[in-house]
């Protein structure tokens, strides 16, 4: 690239359909499947055979990142979402990963702790935990309908160490379950994001205050996962632009550039950035794009997400803004999304009313191209 960001004459621009090496994983294309909560696990957070069929149908993605998967009972606050803390959950996921691999795919497990977004109904009336004693806005989805969030309990230093170890154990369980790696969910207003951003983190110890402290929880979690399964099997997802469930930051450019530089020094396999584009109908940015600054700070594989179609995704690759693009909602109704983008065939329409239901309708019944 030249100093003003233009490609050097004679360089070959990467295509969405070119392979890319992501740590220990060689993805055959740069069309990744983003994590998508779909609520098809059991109430005990055990993956089901229906989930194996769903993910196997989408195995042509360069890499699948699973739906958000709880590292502990304390971290789970969404109905029928899966976990990976118990033997039964590991066994359930093993059926899923086997199906994906037999279909020729690759799959990472997204590790999730919702922090203050866990309503008391999921914790037998106990309080959720967060960086600070704050309360999430809005209402939680529970098995008994929508309910108010309660004020979270600030994690003690011992509590922080325990949660970091839960991430370590979850990464170990993911490998035992057959996943090719894991992605730490550090985005969308959940626990890691609650530590990162100033609106939710009011601590005055080594995990709060200045930016260098607020990134410590993310770094310690990532270091624990790297130690357990290797840097070449570890990814992270961040959401630097816009508020999520009341979580935002006063200086997101400085914060996320610092976080990206620190993650780069750990040598992780990839960093995924969820940053809504103006065309995204589900979320809106609150400032100019931050990912160009992150691109300069992070030396590994950078993945961009949210609101892309085939043309805008290819444009981002051609401008070297990213090494791959992850697609979420398009994969819901288009199990063969890479082929549809390659052939220019129209995308199927998704049915929003079935996103979080428990059956096959709107889940495994979307057909591939003939």
Which residue ranges in the chain fall short of pLDDT 50? 1-9
- Are the beta carbons of 151 and 132 closer than 8 angstroms? no
Report the relative pairing of strands 64-70 and 107-112 from DSSP bridges: parallel
Report the distance separating Cα 328 and Cα 320, nearest Å. 21
Helices (H) and strands (E) in the chain, counts: 11, 14
Q: Contact, 47 vs 91, CB < 8 A?
A: no
Q: Rg of the Cα trace of the chain?
A: 19
Q: What is the pLDDT of residues 326-353, one digit of tens each?
A: 999 999 999 999 999 999 999 999 999 9
Sort 265 into a burial class: Cβ within 10 Å, 0-12 / 13-18 / 19+: exposed
Nearest to 246 by CA among 293, 174, 198: 198
SS3 (DSSP) at 258: helix
Contacts of 205 (CB under 8 A, 6+ apart): 157, 213
For β-strands 145-148 and 139-142, DSSP reports them as antiparallel
Assign 3-class secondary structure to 212-240: HHHCHHHHHHHHHHHHHHCHHHEEEEECC
Domains of the chain, residue spans: 24-354
Active site residue 190: yes
Residue 14 carries which DSSP code?
P
pLDDT, residue 94, reads: 98
- Token pair of 345, please? 């065939």
In CATH, what class is 24-354? alpha beta
Report how far residue 22's alpha carbon sits from residue 269's, in angstroms, rounded to the nearest whole number. Answer: 5
The Cα 175–Cα 178 span in angstroms is 5
Which pLDDT belongs to residue 11?
62
Tokens of 167: 């991430």
- State the catalytic residue, choosing from 167, 190, 207, 363: 190
How buried is residue 168: exposed, middle or buried, by Cβ count under 10 Å (0-12/13-18/19+)? buried
């Amino acid at each position: 690239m030249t100093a003003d960001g233009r490609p050097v004459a004679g360089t070959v621009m990467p295509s969405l359909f070119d392979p890319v090496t992501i740590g220990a994983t060689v993805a055959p294309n740069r069309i990744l499947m983003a994590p998508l909560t779909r609520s098809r696990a059991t109430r005990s957070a055990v993956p089901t055979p229906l989930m194996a069929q769903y993910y196997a149908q989408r195995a042509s993605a360069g890499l699948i990142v699973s739906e958000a998967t709880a590292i502990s009972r304390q971290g789970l606050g969404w109905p029928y979402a899966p976990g990976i803390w118990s033997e039964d959950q590991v066994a359930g996921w093993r059926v899923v990963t086997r199906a994906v691999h037999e279909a020729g795919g690759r799959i990472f497990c997204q590790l999730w702790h919702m922090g203050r977004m866990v309503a008391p109904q999921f914790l037998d009336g106990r309080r959720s935990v967060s960086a600070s004693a704050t309360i999430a806005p809005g209402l939680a989805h529970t098995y008994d309908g929508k309910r108010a969030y309660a004020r979270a309990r600030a994690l003690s230093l011992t509590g922080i160490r325990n949660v970091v170890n839960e991430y370590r154990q979850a990464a170990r369980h993911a490998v035992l379950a057959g996943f090719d790696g894991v992605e730490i969910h550090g985005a969308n207003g959940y626990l890691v994001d609650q530590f990162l951003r100033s609106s939710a983190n009011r601590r005055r110890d080594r995990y709060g205050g200045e930016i260098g402290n607020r990134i410590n929880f993310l770094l310690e979690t990532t270091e624990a996962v790297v130690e357990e399964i290797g840097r070449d099997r570890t990814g992270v997802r961040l959401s630097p632009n816009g508020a999520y469930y009341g979580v935002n930051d006063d200086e997101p450019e400085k914060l996320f550039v610092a976080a990206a530089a620190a993650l780069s020094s750990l040598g992780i396999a990839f960093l995924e950035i969820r940053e809504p584009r103006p065309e995204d109908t589900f979320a809106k940015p609150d400032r100019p794009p931050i990912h160009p600054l992150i691109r300069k700070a992070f030396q590994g594989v950078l993945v961009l997400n949210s609101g892309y179609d085939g043309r805008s995704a290819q444009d981002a690759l051609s401008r070297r803004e990213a090494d791959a693009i992850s697609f979420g909602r398009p994969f819901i109704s288009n199990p063969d999304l890479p082929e549809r983008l390659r052939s220019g065939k129209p995308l199927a329409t998704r049915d929003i009313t079935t996103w979080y239901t428990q059956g096959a309708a709107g889940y495994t019944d979307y057909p591939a191209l003939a």
